[in-house]
Structure 1
Amino acid sequence: MRLRPLRTLLTTVTAGLAAASCLTAAGPANANSLARDTGTAASNACSPTVSLDRFSDALDKTTYDGTFVGNLSALAVDRDGNLAALSDRSSLFTLDRRTLSPTGVVPLADETGAALDSEGLVVDRDSTRLVSSETEPSVRRYSRDGRILDRLPVPDALKVAPAGRATANQTFEGLTLLPGGRTLLASMEYAISGDSTGIVRWQTWERGGGRFALGAQYAYRTDTGLGVPEVAATPDGRLLVLERGFTAGVGNTVRLYLADPRHATDTRGVENLTGQGGVRLVRKTLLADIVNCPSLGATAKQPQPNPLLDNVEGMVVTGRTHGGLRVLLVSDDNQNAVQTTRFYFLRVRTS
């Protein structure tokens, strides 16, 4: 079953994006009008389609209610317009949409009470939280107070070896709900055994009768040496895709792509993806290499090709601009002294 384009945006998603509109100022469709409309210099452009409004290190190496605020791996817009921010150390924070200040934290765990390597986050239309963990991997549904409500099925091949063909710490990193609320999509970070290096699988689930059942699967080719830490659905049914890598002594590579899975092959029945003919990969278009964004005075605690860069891992669409989208990124500092928890406020034109 192929992903379907949206005709009418899900009401709850629209409400969330509207409520979050104050996260960044509305922007125009290109860098020239950016300067005219907001007074921001055209040098804020990262590419012809992406510009950086600002960044914030306000939460770097902070705590809230005794919990370290960091290790952030995913973002989502909550029903009230505030932000949900997921730590891969099993904490789910609520952040004020205007200041990013934490206002709440909920611990998460698996069925045995053990911590998760939680990586992907979706706030569903009923305010429950869908959370992916790359440990098994898994996708679980949680109540607002952290109780497990459900667990989604996962294909055997995508499970960590020896149960499946995936490698530990390289599984479900990204998670997003497509417009309309029927299709959930999780992105593997790296290839599974038997598939060509750089070809990662995206698994979907279709909602029916109130629960999610396994749906189509798609194949996406990353740039050499990069993985997929996050995906985020756009209002028209396409996907923003983060690709990321790290080279010791050099720093991070972070690229933002626009991908369209709507004409890709359903690869559920393809055992090994080795570049053979007959398999249509997800089409992708480069929007920006974040190394080309202005640094805006950012500093780095370790070598980086641009001091703005860090271990960017989370992404959410927070609203619309004139002809584009407001997109918020966050980096995972791994609770490491030489890494930074940093938020990036982008404007992205997708047409």
Structure 2
Amino acid sequence: MRLRTVLATVTATLAAATSLAAAGPAAAGPSTAPGRTPGHACSSTVDLERFSDVLDKTTYDGTFVGNLSALAVDGDRQLVALSDRSSLFTLDRRTLKPTSVVGLADENGAALDSEGLVVDWDGTRLVTSETEPSVRRYSRAGKILDRLPVPGSLLVAPAGRATPNLTFEGLTLLPGGHTLLASMEGSLSGDGTGLVRFQTWERDKGHFRLAAQYGYRVDPGLGVPEVQATPDGRLLVLERGFTSGYGNTVRLYLADPRHATDTSGIENLTGQPGVRLIKKTLLADLVNCPSLGATAKQPQPNPLLDNIEGMTITGTSHGRLDVLLVSDDNQNPAQTTRFYDLRVRIRNVAAG
């Protein structure tokens, strides 16, 4: 999201959570880089600091606290968590427990399939819905203030070429706050399997107008549930999939859209010569993270894993990012609402 100088580091938040889990003392081994905890490495660039199930299967003010699809940090340094059932929670930064909830709806009062979230500089909330898809701006109280234009090709068929439930999942503001970017979870018809579109808008006199669009190739069988801008204008991209009887695959990539081709005027990405897709580099496959004592309610290749869908950057320091993830439990007894606190190093990583 917008590279907020007001971001608070939520590492301390998670450390105080009542159901916080972390590994015990690590066995003796090779020395680690400064600030890196031995035994917590998911890869050479990503460490899992801890996880928390404190909100799993809880309620607040009569609202189920789950189905969490996006995270952001507000200007008052509180966490904001978006449920895909049209609820927007504010979470206490020390305990992760809800302190307020606001209901969201479309212009006709109907529920959203709310997936992506940005807290803008003025505290308003930009929220995507997969239904159309759409991007709307809401006040803190949940009142619709604005609705952004969406290219016709990105609309759900038959109006456009998108597949239901595979549209706008991720949302982020690039450095400076002038460019908004939304990631499609799945491919448009005609684009070919594994090719998805990232749509941008530019801020113009208080509103956002349509701008460039880019192509991104996901790994086979995976989609894009979330994207977050880094301080240097690159992107953290989550790729995720699920296989019955096996469980979830979740990978974190560093991607660079800065030299990609604007595909807004290209109807079909497959077979188009000279189209430069967004370059990406794998930071970590989360199956390789330490489980830290986590348990799974269904088969998983690592009991730590679940349906990870939300991500926000909570702090930055010298090329290191503090990243918070959350899983969407789909209000399903076999899934878990789980927070993951990662430390990600990108300084010397080249996307592509």
Answer whether TM exceeds 0.5 for this pair.
yes
- Asked if structure 1 preserves the Cα contact closer than 8 Å seen for 2:14 and 2:51, the reply is no
Shift of 1:43: 1.5
**Matching residue's letter, 1:241:** V
Query: Which aligned pairs between 1:278-317 and structure 2 lie closer than 5 A?
Result: 278-317=274-313
Mapped partners of 1:65, 1:250: distance in 2: 36
TM-score by length of 1: 0.92
CA deviation after TM superposition for structure 1 residue 277, in Å = 1.8
2-side partners of 1:79 and 1:19: how far apart? 13
Match of 2:253 among 253, 257, 267: 257
In 1: Cα distance, 2:93 partner to 2:255 partner = 27
Structure 1 residues 173 and 33 mapped into 2: Cα distance closer, same or farther (>3 Å)?
A: same
Q: Find 2:48's aligned residue among 38, 48, 52.
A: 52
**Aligned equivalents of 1:344 and 1:164: distance in 2?**
36
Distance change in 2, residues 1:32/1:229 (3 Å)? farther
Question: 2:176 is aligned with what amino acid?
Answer: G
Mapped contact 2:14–2:52 kept (Cα < 8 A): no
Question: 2-side partners of 1:107 and 1:211: how far apart?
Answer: 23
- SS of equivalent residue, structure 1 residue 130: strand
Aligned residues: 333
Q: Any idea what SS the aligned residue of 1:229 has?
A: strand
Cα distance in structure 2, aligned partners of 1:214 and 1:20 = 33
Identity of aligned residues (%): 76
User: Paired residue for 1:349?
Assistant: 345
SS of aligned partner of 2:5: helix
1:97 CA displacement: 1.3
Q: Deviations over 1:93-115 (max 9, x none)?
A: 00011210100000000000000
Partner of 1:98: 94
1:22 is displaced (CA, Å) by: 3.5
Name the residue aligned to 2:23.
none
Query: 1:97-246, aligned counterparts within 5 Å?
Result: 97-246=93-242
**Secondary structure, in 3 states, of the residue corresponding to 1:14?**
coil
Cα deviations by residue, 1:182-222 (Å, 9 ceiling, x for unpaired): 00000000001010110000000000111000000000000
Go from structure 1 to structure 2 and tell me whether the alpha carbon gap of 1:92 and 1:240 turns closer, same or farther (over 3 Å shift).
same
The residue aligned with 1:247 is: 243
Q: Distance in 1 between matches of 2:165 and 2:35?
A: 44
- Alignment partner of 1:89 out of 50, 74, 85: 85
Q: Higher helix fraction: Structure 1 or Structure 2?
A: 1
1:13 aligns with 2:13: no
Which amino acid in 2 is paired with 1:347? R
CA distance in 2, matches of 1:229, 1:243: 6
Residue equivalent to 1:43: 39
SS at match of 1:43: coil
**In structure 1, what is the Cα distance between the partners aligned to 2:216 and 2:101?**
34
Matched to 2:136, the amino acid is R
- Is the 1:23–1:318 contact (alpha carbons within 8 Å) kept by the matching residues of 2? no
Question: How many angstroms does 1:37 deviate by?
Answer: 4.3
Distance 1:32 1:284, change over 3 A: farther
Taking a change above 3 Å as real, the CA distance of residues 259 and 275 of structure 1, as seen in their structure-2 partners, is farther
Which structure 2 residue ranges, 5 or more long, are not aligned? 16-29, 348-352
CA distance in 2, matches of 1:53, 1:237: 25
- Contact kept in structure 2, 1:313 and 1:330, CA below 8 Å: yes
Query: 2: CA distance between counterparts of 1:321 and 1:341?
Result: 28
SS in structure 2 at match of 1:242? strand
Taking the aligned partners of 2:244 and 2:202, their CA distance within structure 1 comes to: 40
Give the gaps of 5 or more residues in structure 1: 1-8, 26-30
Letter in 2 for 1:102: P
Contact 1:196/1:275 (8 A) holds in 2: no
Say whether the 8 Å CA contact 2:250–2:287 is kept in structure 1. yes
Distance 1:281 1:268 in 2: 13
